[in-house]
Chains A and B, each alone.
Chain A
Amino acid sequence: MSQSVQHNPALTSSLLYLDGVSVSFDGFKAIRGLSLVIAPGEMRAIIGPNGAGKTTMMDIITGKTKPDEGTVMFGGSVDLTRLDEAAIANLGIGRKFQKPTVFDFHTIEDNILLALKSQRSVAKTLFWKTAAANQKRIDDILGIIKLGDARNRLAGSLSHGQKQWLEIGMLLAQDPKLLLVDEPAAGMTDGETAETAVLLKEIAKDHSVIVVEHDMGFIRELGVKVTVLHEGSVLAEGPLDQVSANERVVEVYLGR
């Protein structure tokens, strides 16, 4: 890390700061020189065609993939490239996967319980007792994601859309500073999509959020700043209308 980075105002005021990040798999450059800055409290939508590097970017932020080069800083001072997934999660970065990933053999309530912000050590979990405050928080979240009645059902028995919501609920339970949300509206009905957008906007009131999405209607509903990724780097950035007018973006999307 160079000295200049330390005194970079863009860095110190940011929540998440990516600069010149590259990574390659077996010679294929998935991310090349990606730079991105998210301010505290900001909600950002990221779009891009398949293979643009959206998921890999999330992998880098959450510690699943280590970049070959570049800077990834959180809260202006923490170098994320040096931490593993668990440490990054405990810093306050939550992630929702593209394919809804919940614990199929746990009840919905237990899924939330596992995500609930708490000490994560072996000893603490072994002797855990759910306090009243925790229980209230769980009930609140179940209310928000509208699964309160199904709390004792196995998560594996939920519909696709319900699983998406459960996963968002788990993110809420984690109470992270930054949420990474990968295609929350995928496979949802129009009604569900609209409700999800409302839910995300609600969440964005007191959290920073990065949303990766294909569904332009959904992005429009969110009404936030958009970053377009292409072949592993940023192609355009700005409000949706401005971005969608960009000729390069149109070209990339329509494959002309």
Chain B
Amino acid sequence: MITRFLIQGMDKRGLVFLALLAGLALLVPLSNLLLPPGSFLHVPTSTMSLWGKYLCYALLAISLDLVWGYCGILSLGHGAFFALGGYAMGMYLMRQIGSRGVYGNPILPDFMVFLNWGELPWYWYGFSSFPFAMLMVLLVPGLLAFVFGWFAFRSRVTGVYLSIITQALTYALLLAFFRNDMGFGGNNGLTDFKDILGFNVQAQTTRAALFAMTCVMLIASFLIARGIVDSKLGKVVIAIRDAESRTRFLGYRVDRFKLFVFTVSACMAGVAGALYVPQVGIINPSEFAPANSIETVIWVAIGGRGTLVGAALGAVVVNYAKTVFTSGFMAPYWLFALGALFVFVTLFMPKGILGTAQDWWGKRRKPEPATPVAEPAAAE
């Protein structure tokens, strides 16, 4: 019933996107596991885990699009929530290693052993339990976003000021997690994972399951995001983006709406991080780097902001381009190509790939309501 309702409420673009994801979730793992490696339709494990990574980025991009594309909050620190979710997952995976670490210590992760930590710090308690870790994946980024947003939105910090303090937030976390004294493995981060829920993280079947899980979470997050933006709350949020003080004079508590969307988005980013870590096999503080967050913004802009599907598309396109460009003869020059791509898209495709394609495709049909041309919120 509910799915039928959602499907009916969904535009064509969303449907294609969901169908594609559902297909990927099902067919890629099946093809990887069942077809022989020589077969034309066989998807190699490396390709599958690569696409798993792209899809995690797509989820992160959707979460950013929710706050930026719809609410006009340009977060230059969304990587922080992604990384926190990743760390929560990483801590669970570290605890699963148990006594199989190189020093064979049943409690302490290796990096704590060789830096002479006497006992497990209190904030590592509980992470051996999967449900607890999953709760933390949502709670830690969500709580940080809630507290940060509570102050920032109440104080009506907007535009570039907000962007810059989100950047300060992720930069401060970057520095903090780099410190070995924090007990998160310093620069090396958390790595060398063995098991997830008792399954070997490197086994082909686990990878296939993780890939499918990523697709499922992407579908779920997309549906949640769609549900939010299609509700009346979504209309309020777009109203806030386009005319914040008007919305306030209509009696809406703008700060609470922003806080809600920001927190939901941070939780989604956390989930993306949690799925990312077992697939790439490492989480380290460089995920907090401000450059990463800026890049996420660029994915969304390239795909088309305020479209959700476009954000996911942008993430996949840019990262796929990166994969291609960083190999072969392009390797020393790929930054030229990537930089030029960013300049090109901003100059000639201000609505992103999806927005431009849509304009071009459906000139005769009525335009989609949610695609902003300019960026009114930050122009203040």
Is B a genuine binding partner of A?
A: yes
Contacts of B256 in A (CB 8 A): 121-122
Contacts of B250 in A (CB 8 A): 89, 114-115, 170, 174
**Nearest B-chain residue to A129, judged by Cβ:** B232
How long is the Cα–Cα vector from A4 to B231 in the complex, in angstroms? Answer: 49
Minimum CB–CB distance from B67 to chain A (whole Å) comes to 15
B234-256 near A? 1/0 per residue, CB < 8 Å: 01101100110111111111101
Flag if A113 contacts B249 (CB, 8 Å): no
The stretch of A97-105, A201-209, A240-248 that contacts the partner chain = A97-105
Flag if A105 contacts B236 (CB, 8 Å): no
Task: Tell me which residues from 43 to 92 in chain A have a Cβ below 8 Å from any Cβ of chain B.
Answer: 62, 64, 84-86, 89-90
A154 at interface, CB cutoff 8 A = yes
Flag if A128 contacts B232 (CB, 8 Å): yes
A12 at interface, CB cutoff 8 A = no
Contacts A122-B256, A154-B369 given; indicate if A103 touches B242 (C-beta within 8 A). Answer: yes
Task: Tell me which residues from 97 to 144 in chain A have a Cβ below 8 Å from any Cβ of chain B.
Answer: 97, 101-107, 110, 113-115, 120-122, 125-128, 130
**Nearest B-chain residue to A110, judged by Cβ:** B235
Flag if B233 contacts A105 (CB, 8 Å): no
Flag if B369 contacts A107 (CB, 8 Å): yes
Contacts of A32 in B (CB 8 A): none
How long is the Cα–Cα vector from A86 to B236 in the complex, in angstroms? Answer: 13
How long is the Cα–Cα vector from A142 to B243 in the complex, in angstroms? Answer: 21
How long is the Cα–Cα vector from A154 to B369 in the complex, in angstroms? Answer: 7
A230 at interface, CB cutoff 8 A = no
Interface size class of A (residues with CB under 8 A): 20 to 34
Flag if A106 contacts B235 (CB, 8 Å): yes
B372 at interface, CB cutoff 8 A = yes
Contacts A122-B260, A126-B228 given; indicate if A105 touches B369 (C-beta within 8 A). Answer: yes
How long is the Cα–Cα vector from A126 to B231 in the complex, in angstroms? Answer: 6
**Nearest A-chain residue to B228, judged by Cβ:** A126
Flag if B249 contacts A85 (CB, 8 Å): yes
Flag if A114 contacts B236 (CB, 8 Å): yes
Minimum CB–CB distance from A128 to chain B (whole Å) comes to 4
Contacts of B150 in A (CB 8 A): none
How long is the Cα–Cα vector from A106 to B372 in the complex, in angstroms? Answer: 11
Flag if A114 contacts B239 (CB, 8 Å): yes
Flag if B238 contacts A125 (CB, 8 Å): no
Flag if B245 contacts A125 (CB, 8 Å): no
Flag if B369 contacts A120 (CB, 8 Å): no
Flag if A106 contacts B369 (CB, 8 Å): yes
Known: A95-B249, A104-B243. 17 other contacts (CB 8 A): A85-B245, A86-B248, A86-B254, A101-B246, A103-B243, A105-B370, A105-B372, A106-B235, A106-B369, A107-B369, A110-B235, A114-B247, A122-B260, A125-B236, A126-B232, A130-B232, A174-B250
23 A-B pairs with CB atoms under 8 Å apart are A62-B249, A86-B251, A86-B254, A89-B249, A89-B250, A89-B251, A90-B251, A102-B243, A103-B242, A103-B246, A105-B370, A106-B235, A110-B235, A114-B236, A114-B239, A114-B247, A115-B250, A120-B251, A121-B253, A122-B256, A122-B260, A125-B232, A126-B233
Binding site for A on B (CB under 8 A): 228, 231-233, 235-236, 238-239, 242-243, 245-254, 256-257, 260, 367, 369-372
Binding site for B on A (CB under 8 A): 62, 64, 84-86, 89-90, 94-95, 97, 101-107, 110, 113-115, 120-122, 125-128, 130, 154, 170, 174
